[in-house]
Structure 1
Amino acid sequence: MVSHIVGYPRMGPKRELKFALEAFWDGKSSAEELQKVGDNLKLSTWKQMVDAGIKFIPSNTFSYYDHVLDTTAMLGAIPPRYGWSGGDIGFDVYFSMARGNACIPAMELTKWFDTNYHYIVPELEPNSKFFYASRKAVQEYREAKAHGIDTVPVLLGPVSYLLLSKPVKGVDKSFSLLSLLDKILPVYKEIVDELMAAGVSWIQFDEPTLVMDLDSRQLNAFTHAYTELESSISGLTILLETYFADIPADAYKTITALKGVSAIGFDLVRGSKTLDLIRNGFPPEKYLFAGVVDGRNIWANDLEASLTTLKTLKGMVGEDKLVVSTSCSLLHTAFDLETEIKMNKELKSWLAFAAQKLLEVSSLEKALTNLKNEAFFSANAAAQASRKASSRVTNAAVQEAVSLLRGSDHRRATNVSDRLEAQQRKLKLPILPTTALGSFPQTLGLRKLRREYKINKISEEDYVKAIKEEINQVVKLQEELDLDVLVHGEPEIHTHMCYSNFNDIIHSIMDMDADVISIENSRSDEKLLSVFHEGVKYSAGIGPGVYDIHSPRIPSVEEIVECIKKMLAVLDCTILWVNPDCGLKTRKYSEVKPALSNMVAAVKIIRKQLIANKSELFSSLWKARTDC
């Protein structure tokens, strides 16, 4: 019986990587200094897993930005606009793809399945060329080996990489991303060969798209890929890892039949129905990596319930073929609960961050081999009971109020057109569209105060005073930039959504009945606007983002004007809000002020153009505005 971790957080217990990245991007530190921080975090993580008793320790899960972007670098699939002509992919090209630069926008950013992690979407076309361009996987394995730690290199699998990519804009709609599979498999073979030469005995291929609804052609791609790789992986033990949901029966049948795959990992937290598939037959020659410790949230596992599941699996596949694992990478959890020094003790007992989940995995593995830590399990059981009984969780007054709700209580009393008309009367504007934004930057001073308050270095009174001063600074900046500000009046519901496939859920978004929704648009090639071209009529306020806030790049006035014109082609000016893609929390004032100034200037240009329009419809609208 052994244990395994799918992946681990990268930022560090005190967000060391975040601060190192910001210093590097600001030109305050060198690439060597950034790499030193990264190397220290990798080593401390590997040692932490060794100390926790984890057998299968992952490597190549650390990233300076995103593991999918790392795979793009590994395959040399760099979009031509970034000017890469071969050789090492340095931080300049890497971060330009991730964040853009002064001249070139970043690649698309979108949700990693249904998590709040975002990945950089690969851009591919029929003529895309692939090269073994980044040896990060081999370098990390050797790095760990030099410290006496044998790891399992983790690679995003070839089929999932293609299915998570997007065709380059303008490519014929008949182009299939899977048509590139035979182009990337030779690169994967090179990587596997080099890993074997370095001494690797296990490799983990992450294929999370297996939990999606795939057609026969897509499932056949997995069979083809791992059959092709089989000759290269002779002598290696290959773990195929899935996560985030139940695996469909046809996908289960496909991967359990793969001869070159010796081990399969399943998410048995969100994929509870997968247990039935395993009960009905699991290949006796393969290892089962049982993901029973939840990697998706910060709650402590119910260890007794997890142990019961593992004992059932042990009876099915045998002790020598069962591995205790996390349901997915621990990337999606906080780093270490021990850093939370102010938290309520009862609440803290209910939680487990990544460091604590290592101990959960290890304790479950030991319990299956008759080395159960009774004190550890008893404390966990007490915490589970405390959480279930606590009024923080079970509040009779709330339950009673919910039980009295009727269907009509879920809808607002007024319709959206009436609310929109009232809202427009409240705005200090001559005419729409309206400028808006979600949040302003957090100054370094405020971040420092927050850290000092957290560790009791300053009083709550001083902290509140600093917040108020920050708010006053924001108000002054709004006035300076001539951003539209709502006057006091009836409350409105504004909501924000970013980086997802909005077109698939546009009708659900409309059913939310919010007064205004701001929504990511610029980073995804304005895909959102296509749903309005297809005839969807949106009647509430909507603000598709006009520029990417995850990039330091300052958009020009002309660029934003063209973006707004595209929106006005499908949206009425009376409902259009002009705003950045997301909140500005991560940006510096030196970036925010020119970007917002350009945004306001672009809106004023659009307003003048609308005023010059002599159509009857606009004239009546203009009259209504000026009358207000």
Structure 2
Amino acid sequence: MKTSVIGFPRVGANRELKFASEKYFAGKITAEELQATARELRKNAWLLQKNAGIDFISSNDFSFYDNMLDTSFMLGVIPQRYKALCLSKLDTFFAMARGYQSDKGDVTALPMKKWFNTNYHYIVPEFDDSVDIQLDDTKAQEEYNEAKAHGVQTKVDVIGPYTFLKLSHFTGSKQLKDFSAKTAEAYKQLLANAKSWGAEWIQIDEPALVLDMTDEDKALFSDLYKIILENKQIKVLLQTYFGDVRDYYKELLSFDFDGIGLDFVEGKETLNLLKTGTKENCTLFAGVLCGKNIWKNNYAKTSALLETIQSNWKGEVAISTSCSLLHVPYTVKNEQKLDQNILKYFAFAEEKLTELSDLAANNQKAFAENKALFETERVAKNSDIASKIANLKKEDFVRQPAFAEREAIQKKEFQLPLFPTTTIGSFPQTQDVRANRSGFKKGTVSKEDYVKFNQKKIAECIALQEEIGLDVLVHGEFERNDMVEYFGENLDGYIFTQNAWVQSYGTRCVKPPVVWGDVSRRNPITVEWSKFAQSCADKNSKKPVKGMLTGPVTILNWSFPREDISLKESAYQIALAIREEVLDLEKAGIRIIQIDEAALKEKLPLRKEDWHSEYLDWAIPAFNLVHSGCKPQTQIHTHMCYSEFIPIIKNIDDMDADVITFEASRSNLEILKALKDNNFRTEVGPGVYDIHSPRVPSVEEIVNAVEKMKTYIPQSKLWINPDCGLKTRGETETVASLKNLVAAAKQVRN
């Protein structure tokens, strides 16, 4: 059998792209030096796959920031305000991704949203009425030719027109239908051009086919591909992932595709669909190797699945990853600290190439070694934790008294001004902060010195917020490397990698911890830091300082989860652990506690019919379980960002938090109407400026945002805050932005 990889990690084995890009942003290297790093990374990835024996290797899966943004440039979907900056092509690209502020102009970044059900974020394409679709496939051609020069024949990989248009935002009088025909013509020309370069295959990614489709959606796809496939001279692989294509499977078989890529890992109906029909003279690219988790594949199970697939598909079958390997770390080889008895269960991107080859070749030696891994339980179960979960009662998930009564109690308790101001939690993680934390981990900084340093930073942070005039303070989170890893380090059942970095967006990489066994709290985690911060505030302003926690669903969704128990069981284990922390904070006198659920929507099934039974029926209760034991005077906050929350806005209200802060600045405050339409009861702070951009918002800009918010949200329920934590920002821009935020709040109050 032949093997295929949908896409490969692009940041490099040691995050080379991240560091080079950040040097370029800082003016420390030239554009050509950045391009040289990119060329080296691409070469390494191609040769790695070739040497592993992979038959179908992608080119053009690389990006300096995001493939959806690359597609915008390929089609000429560049809003006029970015063209007006008159920057180079590369700098225009980064301006759209990060925003831009100089004497040449001041523009915010395009919106950023989660890529389907992953923690990867894509830049939302924007069509204004000035857009004129024109193909510019320079990048795809250059990268195909690069690979060829290294002796690697690749399939050219592009985001498909249906997915691109469905995920785009249209700001003018022209809508999707007004751009579809020219978009299709551009892709038709791309196919012809790719053939002229010498390409044999082009891979067109259409993950949007796994979403619920209307008749209008089906007509759009059909209209696009009737044009694209007309008189084609190159083989076309229509690639899907993240689910099954139940709404459009039979129709897909009618198109002149030479290959169809289907997901057999997350696509729960994919195998059943195969039994309803097949296609001759078409290769099925069977996504049987998980591209989103780090556990080794069970060869026996996968081999049996492949036999069933082959018996139902008339044409050739190639073994593929279920999605791009962008969503897993680069290689296990970089892990020097974990025991081999742990590492032997892991397969990152490079190791998954070997797994593909083993399965394709039916490597009996590898099969025997693999079988031994699955013959015994990897980890023993904790009976005490199992008993706690089994004995949970309905009342354990309900907070008393009801929301309206708590709200009245808290208004009296805190006496906050109209439009109270706060931040989401973290403050800039400067070099000295990182050095202190790193030194403590390495043993070169004593615990006493580590604590003294952090207490000094906390005291300075509290004083700064008091000087700026914020109403509800935070301690700055100087002790934390990551909002999930930090908690995982204090929970039994978690293990941590050294270099298992995964791209989240642009230059932002995360290192998800691994849920290895049953989870429980080992010790109090944040209590002492929060108590110290509140004591600093009590000396002067006496303003409340929020205790800062990460919620159970986000901790789970931003970890590599176990595959031997359900996600529900894992979530409840984590919820019980965080519940202990919440109650300890309350006992320590912390009156406001923020429990972030930034990733609440991340594992929401892509099919609406599966939302409750497979996810919401345990994800919302897991959050309720964390705070249901709190006193009515304790105000519970939560935070969510960079996802489409509008479809589940009623479920978010059911979380029964007292205050929720949303990312809203990069989505043009679209969530506001949904809050009003659904009579959202929770107090709310839609972010008034984008912290992922280095630009400083003006007072006028923030005032305008708040005035818009007031038309949708009762002013008694409206908070003013940035849209996310500030740890990635510089100190100067942070202080300037927060001063403008407070000034705007005062202006709106007046």
TM-score normalised according to structure 2 size: 0.74
1:142 aligns with 2:140: no
User: 1:446: Cα distance to partner?
Assistant: 3.6
1:554 partner amino acid: V
1:212 aligns with 2:211: yes
Do 2:100 and 2:109's aligned partners in 1 also have CA atoms closer than 8 Å?
Answer: yes
User: 1:199: Cα distance to partner?
Assistant: 0.7
What corresponds to 2:738 in structure 1? 596
1:515 aligns with 2:518: no
User: 1:431: Cα distance to partner?
Assistant: 4.4
User: 1:309: Cα distance to partner?
Assistant: 0.7
What corresponds to 1:243 in structure 2? 241
Do 1:438 and 1:583's aligned partners in 2 also have CA atoms closer than 8 Å?
Answer: yes
2:643 partner amino acid: S
1:281 aligns with 2:277: yes
Helix, strand or coil for the counterpart of 2:688? Answer: coil
Helix, strand or coil for the counterpart of 1:323? Answer: strand
Do 2:79 and 2:130's aligned partners in 1 also have CA atoms closer than 8 Å?
Answer: no
Match of 2:157 among 136, 150, 154: 154
User: 1:40: Cα distance to partner?
Assistant: 1.2
Helix, strand or coil for the counterpart of 1:543? Answer: strand
Equivalents in 2 of 1:306, 1:131: separation in Å?
43
What corresponds to 1:406 in structure 2? 393
Do 1:350 and 1:384's aligned partners in 2 also have CA atoms closer than 8 Å?
Answer: no
Equivalents in 2 of 1:132, 1:419: separation in Å?
57
What corresponds to 2:427 in structure 1? 440
User: 1:85: Cα distance to partner?
Assistant: 9.8
User: 1:414: Cα distance to partner?
Assistant: 2.5
Do 1:435 and 1:600's aligned partners in 2 also have CA atoms closer than 8 Å?
Answer: no
1:420 partner amino acid: E
User: 1:385: Cα distance to partner?
Assistant: 4.9
Equivalents in 1 of 2:114, 2:686: separation in Å?
17
Pairwise mapping of residues 545-556 of structure 1 onto structure 2 (< 5 A)?
A: 545-556=687-698
1:302/1:296 CA distance change after superposition, 3 Å: same
Do 2:697 and 2:740's aligned partners in 1 also have CA atoms closer than 8 Å?
Answer: yes
Pairwise mapping of residues 36-435 of structure 1 onto structure 2 (< 5 A)?
A: 36-83=36-83, 90-102=89-101, 103-125=106-128, 128-168=131-171, 171=173, 176-234=175-233, 236-248=234-246, 250-259=247-256, 261-317=257-313, 321-367=316-362, 371-372=363-364, 374=365, 376-385=366-375, 388-391=377-380, 394-427=381-414, 429-435=416-422
Deviations 1:521-561 (A, max 9, x none): 11111101112343x32332311000011111110011111
1:557 aligns with 2:557: no
2:139 partner amino acid: K
Q: Which runs of 5+ in 2 are unaligned?
A: 474-543, 546-588, 594-635
User: 1:347: Cα distance to partner?
Assistant: 4.0
What corresponds to 1:624 in structure 2? none
1:85/1:404 CA distance change after superposition, 3 Å: closer
Do 2:289 and 2:356's aligned partners in 1 also have CA atoms closer than 8 Å?
Answer: yes
Pairwise mapping of residues 462-501 of structure 1 onto structure 2 (< 5 A)?
A: 467-484=454-471, 485=473, 486-487=544-545, 488-490=589-591, 492=593, 493-501=636-644
Do 1:159 and 1:178's aligned partners in 2 also have CA atoms closer than 8 Å?
Answer: no
1:470/1:229 CA distance change after superposition, 3 Å: same
User: 1:360: Cα distance to partner?
Assistant: 1.6
1:433/1:491 CA distance change after superposition, 3 Å: closer
Helix, strand or coil for the counterpart of 1:189? Answer: helix
* Worse overlay, 583-592 or 222-231: 222-231
1:451/1:68 CA distance change after superposition, 3 Å: farther
| Identity within the alignment, % | 41
Equivalents in 2 of 1:477, 1:10: separation in Å?
39
Deviations 1:15-49 (A, max 9, x none): 11111111111222211121111111111111111
Do 1:515 and 1:541's aligned partners in 2 also have CA atoms closer than 8 Å?
Answer: yes
Equivalents in 2 of 1:450, 1:294: separation in Å?
34
Equivalents in 2 of 1:460, 1:68: separation in Å?
46
Equivalents in 2 of 1:467, 1:344: separation in Å?
31
Helix, strand or coil for the counterpart of 2:684? Answer: strand
2:240 partner amino acid: T
Helix, strand or coil for the counterpart of 1:203? Answer: strand
User: 1:105: Cα distance to partner?
Assistant: 1.2
Do 1:334 and 1:354's aligned partners in 2 also have CA atoms closer than 8 Å?
Answer: yes
Pairwise mapping of residues 452-471 of structure 1 onto structure 2 (< 5 A)?
A: 456=442, 458=444, 461=447, 467-471=454-458
Equivalents in 2 of 1:153, 1:211: separation in Å?
22
Equivalents in 1 of 2:341, 2:453: separation in Å?
30
2:48 partner amino acid: Q
Do 2:663 and 2:724's aligned partners in 1 also have CA atoms closer than 8 Å?
Answer: yes
User: 1:181: Cα distance to partner?
Assistant: 1.5
1:145/1:158 CA distance change after superposition, 3 Å: same
Equivalents in 2 of 1:458, 1:247: separation in Å?
54
Equivalents in 2 of 1:335, 1:14: separation in Å?
8
TM-score normalised according to structure 1 size: 0.88
1:417/1:158 CA distance change after superposition, 3 Å: same
What corresponds to 1:621 in structure 2? none
1:354 partner amino acid: A
1:590 partner amino acid: T
Equivalents in 1 of 2:340, 2:453: separation in Å?
28
1:131/1:41 CA distance change after superposition, 3 Å: same
1:352/1:419 CA distance change after superposition, 3 Å: farther
Do 2:2 and 2:318's aligned partners in 1 also have CA atoms closer than 8 Å?
Answer: yes
Equivalents in 2 of 1:159, 1:532: separation in Å?
29
Do 1:49 and 1:57's aligned partners in 2 also have CA atoms closer than 8 Å?
Answer: yes
Q: Which runs of 5+ in 1 are unaligned?
A: 610-628
Do 2:162 and 2:224's aligned partners in 1 also have CA atoms closer than 8 Å?
Answer: yes
Equivalents in 2 of 1:89, 1:185: separation in Å?
27
Helix, strand or coil for the counterpart of 2:237? Answer: strand
What corresponds to 1:617 in structure 2? none
User: 1:81: Cα distance to partner?
Assistant: 1.0
2:327 partner amino acid: H
Equivalents in 2 of 1:378, 1:448: separation in Å?
46
RMSD: 2.4
* Worse overlay, 265-274 or 214-223: 214-223
Do 1:5 and 1:325's aligned partners in 2 also have CA atoms closer than 8 Å?
Answer: yes
1:383/1:600 CA distance change after superposition, 3 Å: farther
1:262/1:444 CA distance change after superposition, 3 Å: same
Equivalents in 1 of 2:137, 2:460: separation in Å?
45
Equivalents in 2 of 1:49, 1:451: separation in Å?
34
Do 1:433 and 1:575's aligned partners in 2 also have CA atoms closer than 8 Å?
Answer: no
User: 1:91: Cα distance to partner?
Assistant: 1.6
Do 2:676 and 2:713's aligned partners in 1 also have CA atoms closer than 8 Å?
Answer: no
Helix, strand or coil for the counterpart of 1:434? Answer: coil
Do 2:664 and 2:687's aligned partners in 1 also have CA atoms closer than 8 Å?
Answer: yes
Equivalents in 2 of 1:365, 1:467: separation in Å?
53
What corresponds to 2:717 in structure 1? 575
1:14/1:426 CA distance change after superposition, 3 Å: farther
User: 1:378: Cα distance to partner?
Assistant: 4.2
